[in-house]
């Protein structure tokens, strides 16, 4: 099975993905890192040189590349829900990490690497995307507390549903 983590930038998708994969013995894939390795460029450079539209195509290509792989926890980029057809490529369980906008703003205060946040606020992005996140998600999990608690909650769900 593949487990996809979605949510706003700064919602903890990479931290939780890494810990969750370790906990359940799955491989961890960070979609942004995968794109960077393939393009040999950082995400902000990709945005600068090729623009958001090309980045979204690279994102979809990366999802396609994972289609025949199994037992993965995939931390996606916050905008993976922008393209509706990505949902079809994300076969498995999709978990939305729910974090309050204020907590996100505080977490990202000293982060200058997120190109979209140079032109848009967290609130604007959230308003644009909230329904998308909900339409992609099979499960909502709060990530307001410690990463360990969030991982425990996800593992509990996976066990209850006999998914692992």
Kindly state the smallest distance separating residue 107's Cβ from ligand S3P, in Å.
Answer: 11
Identify which of residues 20 and 43 has a Cβ nearer to ligand S3P in the complex: 43
Beta-bridge mates of residue 97: 141
Nearest residue to 12 (alpha-carbon basis) of 158, 148, 133: 148
Residues 6+ apart with CB under 8 A from 140: 95, 96, 98, 134
Identify which of residues 26 and 30 has a Cβ nearer to ligand S3P in the complex: 30
Identify which of residues 2 and 114 has a Cβ nearer to ligand S3P in the complex: 114
Kindly state the smallest distance separating residue 161's Cβ from ligand S3P, in Å.
Answer: 26
Kindly state the smallest distance separating residue 117's Cβ from ligand S3P, in Å.
Answer: 8
In this chain, which residue has its C-beta nearest to ligand S3P? 77
Number of other residues whose CB lies within 10 A of the CB of residue 160: 8
DSSP line for 61-122: HHHHHTTT--SEEEE--TTTTSSTTHHHH--SEEEEEE--HHHHHHHTTT----GGGGTS-H
Identify which of residues 124 and 148 has a Cβ nearer to ligand S3P in the complex: 124
Kindly state the smallest distance separating residue 138's Cβ from ligand S3P, in Å.
Answer: 19
By CB under 6 A, name the binding residues for ligand S3P.
9, 13, 32, 43, 77-79, 114-116
């Amino acid at each position: 099975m593949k487990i996809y983590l979605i949510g706003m930038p700064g919602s903890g998708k990479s931290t939780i993905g890494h810990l969750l994969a370790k906990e359940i013995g799955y491989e961890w894939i960070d979609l942004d890192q995968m794109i960077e390795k393939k393009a040999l460029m950082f995400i902000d450079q990709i945005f600068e040189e090729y623009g958001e539209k090309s980045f979204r195509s690279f994102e979809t290509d990366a999802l396609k590349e994972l289609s025949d792989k199994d037992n993965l926890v995939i931390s996606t980029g916050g905008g993976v829900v922008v393209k509706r057809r990505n949902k079809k490529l994300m076969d498995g369980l999709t978990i939305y990490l729910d974090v309050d906008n204020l907590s996100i703003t505080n977490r990202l205060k000293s982060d200058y690497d997120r190109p979209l946040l140079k032109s848009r606020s967290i609130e604007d992005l959230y308003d644009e995307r909230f329904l998308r996140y909900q339409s992609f998600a099979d499960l909502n999990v709060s990530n307001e507390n410690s990463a360990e608690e969030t991982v425990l909650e996800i593992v509990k769900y996976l066990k209850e549903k006999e998914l692992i």
